[in-house]
Amino acid sequence: MNIALKEASESEYWIELLGESEYLSNAEKDSILTDCRELLKILTSIVKSTFNSK
């Protein structure tokens, strides 16, 4: 899960860069970032709950 969280964070960074470079339209960037950030929240919650249960 930690690896997935790291990869999702990196994906967020690259999506933002693609939006800034206008490779993605604002609508595309916003849609993808919304999904990515939701995944980040879920993965963060899993990692925190796993860490706290040990």
Q: Spell out the SS3 assignment of 4-46.
A: HHHHHHHHHHHHHHHHHCCCCCHHHHHHHHHHHHHHHHHHHHH
pLDDT at 39: 97
Residue type, 19: G
pLDDT of residue 54: 61
Eight-class DSSP state of 52: H
DSSP 54: -
Given a cut of 50, the residues of the chain with pLDDT beneath it are none
Which pTM does this prediction carry? 0.85
CA–CA separation, 5 vs 26, rounded Å? 24
- Between CA 9 and CA 4 the distance in angstroms is 9
